[in-house]
Every structure is written in C-alpha cells, then in structure tokens.
Structure 1
Amino acid sequence: MKNTLTILAILLISFAFSQKKSFSEEAIQDKLLDLDGSEIAFKDIIEQHKGQSVLIDIWASWCKDCIAGFPDLKKLQQDNPDLDYIFLSLDKEIDRWKAGIKKYDLKGDHYYIKSGWKGPLCSSIDLDWIPRYILLDASGTIKVYRAITTKDNQLLNQIQ
C-alpha cells in the first residue's frame, strides 16, 4: 500500500509540473490586435516567427510586477539578441497599451489580447498571473510553459 501511494504521489507531482508543448486550437484561433488596429490570429503571429526561438511576454501597463520585471527583461534581451520577443497585452484600454509600450520602451512585436483574461488564449494557457513568459523553440514548440520572471531557472536553462 505504501508503494502504491508513493507511486501515485510521484505521478500527481509529475502531472502538476508537466507543461504543454503546443497551444490549443482555441488559443491559436484567438484574434488579437496589432499596433495598427488590425486583427490577427495568434497562429499567424506564431507563424511569422517560425524558424526563430521566441519569448512571449504577457503583460499590462497597470501591472506592478510586469513593470518591476522590465529591467530584467531588457537585460535578457541584451544578452539574447537572437531571440524574438512578442509582447501580448492585457491592458483594459488600447491607448494605455500603446502608451505603456512607449513609456517602458519595450522592443519587440506588440499585440493586444482583445478577448482578455477569460478569452480563448488566456483560458487555454491557464493564465493566473502576469507577467507570464512562454518560450518557444524555432519550430514553435513550447519549451517553457509557465515562468513569471525572466530569472526563472527553467527559462534561463532553455534559452542557453
């Protein structure tokens, strides 16, 4: 009985720490807005970066933890110029999103998640905190599913 409980505990822990390797169909079909206000499917954003490793940063201009993390993010960008950077905003207003990009001088591709926290993209990735970093390899496979800082050991190990 003790061995069975041990095995069950190991399986539950493994399941809890497992990560998704791809986005759900609902997530990739979600429509975001680019800086010009045009709609673009999340799958098309990912497709534009095929062949490159990509760090996705889900953030908002009102998020204190996001803002506090920008110096570390910029250091990561400086140390890893070969990574592509995609910023997905959960701002409540488009004007605040655009002002945040300018204010914090965020370098990368920028999109607004118009469906919000409860929309297909955020729901499918179990978004419960921002900032949230997701690392994709050059084929678009998720290498790091959930990191809340750019100093996350798993994230840094996968980037190297």
Structure 2
Amino acid sequence: MKKISLVLIIMFASCSTEKPIHFSEAALSDTVYTLNNTVFTVEEMLQKYKGKKVLIDVWASWCGDCIKGLPSVRNLQKEYPEVVFLFLSVDENKDAWRKGIERFQIKGAHYNLPKGMKTGEFVDFINLSWIPRYMVIDAQGKISLFKATSASDSAIVEALKLVI
C-alpha cells in the first residue's frame, strides 16, 4: 500500500510540474478579439508573429499586480526591441480593457480573451489561476517559458536570450 501511495504521489507531482512546449489544439481554437473587434483564433493570432520571439503578458485592467509589473515590462521592451510584446487581456468588459491600455500607456499587440480568466480553452490549458502571467514563445512557435508571475522574473530574461 505504501508503494502504491508513493507511486501516486510521484505521478501527481510530475504532472503538476509539466511544462508543455506546444499549445493544445483546444487552446489554439479559442477565440480572441482585437481592439477593433476582429475575431481571431489563438492560432491565427500567434501565426501573425510566426518567426518572431513573443512575450505574452496575460493581464487585466483591474489587476494591481499587472499594473505594478508594467515598468518591468517596459524595461524588457527597451532591452529586447526585436521581441513582440503581446498583451492578452482577461477583462470581460471590453471598454475597461481599452481604457486600461490607454490609461497605462501599454505599447504592444493587444488582444482580449472575452470569457475572462476562469473560463475558456486557452486559460484552462495554461492553468490560469493568477495574473499577471508571462509566457515566452520562441521563433519556431514553441513555448520556451510556460509560467512566470512577475515581470522581473529572471526566467523571462533567460527565455528571451535563448538563441534558437
């Protein structure tokens, strides 16, 4: 019985630390909106930046930690101008999302997950339980950093520096 318990614990621990390198088909089929209300799938959104390194910042206009992280994100934008900074908002209120971009002067590519942070294939895939959330996608479209919750996390810089 102890051996079975130990095996189960190891299995659960290894599953929770899994870091996928590709998005699931379901996550890629989820929809996002642009600032002018054009609807794309996540896959179509990512295809726009094919061949480029992308930092995804999952945020919301009402999120204090997201706003506090913006100066660090701006520093990253200065240090890595070749990187696409893709801001993926989980605001359910599109007006609040648009006003937040303007109010906080957020420069980059902007998309909205209209279902918010609790529902949807993309947020389920990334197991979104906290924002901000940062991810790095390499030039080949692989996830090189699956999860960082602080814009000053050294793992972000490491992923952005990777030459692939």
Question: Does the alignment reach a TM-score above 0.5?
Answer: yes
Equivalent residue, structure 2, for 1:16:
16
Equivalent residue, structure 1, for 2:45:
45
AA aligned to 1:26 is: A
Deviations 1:1-46 (A, max 9, x none): xxxx999877765543330111111111111111111111110010
Structure 1 residue 116 displacement after superposition: 2.0
Q: Distance in 1 between matches of 2:7 and 2:91?
A: 43
For the aligned residue pairs, the C-alpha RMSD in angstroms reads 2.1
Q: Any unmatched runs of 5+ in structure 1? A: none
Equivalent residue, structure 1, for 2:54:
54
Q: Percent same amino acid at aligned positions?
A: 35
Deviations 1:37-67 (A, max 9, x none): 1111110010000000000000000000000
Q: Distance in 1 between matches of 2:8 and 2:62?
A: 42
Equivalent residue, structure 1, for 2:123:
122
Deviations 1:80-121 (A, max 9, x none): 111001111111211110001111111111011012221111
TM-score, normalization: structure 2?
A: 0.88
Q: Distance in 1 between matches of 2:81 and 2:106?
A: 14
Give the number of equivalent residue pairs: 159
Q: Distance in 1 between matches of 2:110 and 2:158?
A: 25
Equivalent residue, structure 2, for 1:131:
132
AA aligned to 2:151 is: T
Aligned pairs for 1:11-90 within 5 A: 14-90=14-90
The ranges of structure 1 where at least 4 consecutive aligned residues each deviate by more than 2 angstroms after the TM superposition are 5-18
